[in-house]
Structure 1
């Protein structure tokens, strides 16, 4: 495990003030145990300090209790390396950039859907029933509402994309860990 991705492997980043008060899960403790084991194997901790930190992590109630045990072993991301959400929580910049790119794609689809649908329907109306009831108002109105929703709810949509991306990433990590455990148990 590279030290740069340790914080990302927690359910919630324990350095975040909002997450620091959340209860620590067994998975969170396992991440901390692995980081401590790696530091011990690399000689950055002596046996006594390793045991002290293991005890502190195993008795940690909230995520904030884990941070002091790892902060001098795992580098913090630079100040600008975490993107701040509107609600004050933080997310890794790569996840934020992917979510913003997905929102831009959603916006582009909404714009092209509105324009394409409008041109098509109003052309049909003009060719077939010019002067009749302007029925294309309804479908183009719905397409316009979708475009307005996409623009107005930008932050909510980006946060939903971030959550989805993080959930997908966590699922992939869990699957990778499960395969690793199966390989380790199969080789014993």
Structure 2
């Protein structure tokens, strides 16, 4: 339980304490969370064998998320009950992240073009100031032009759609009270 009752509730697919979620069917993962809480309670001596067996029977009979909190109510903190259902805080609106995704694409493209132009121009100016000779700035030009080519070759629409999906997923995780994904 990691010593924090709040973390237990966030391990469920949907918080079973929220009224809007209580009618939903409990998943195997949800039951596994309750099983872990019961096992830890038994291992800590907060439940005896008879209580553990009785609660495990109730768990096996459970069908909805609303059936689960009473089984572990005296084993975990209930102090972090959300006042509002997370989904009600920010309704999912298709395309609501489109402008942010387009801005992220433009920023990526500007960064790639800047990463190409700045070193390339500096190298060519140095080459000219040094009197020419072997055109070594071509190597820098070829190497740095790969950034803008990569961004452009990825397809604007495909990249914007990808960023939009990432932003939507991040918002869904925040609504459910889950920690950010590893790559956020």
Under a length normalisation based on structure 1, what TM-score does the superposition of the two structures give? 0.48
The answer to which structure has the higher helix fraction is 1
- Structure number with greater CO (CA < 8 Å, separation at least 6) is 2
Structure with larger Rg: 2
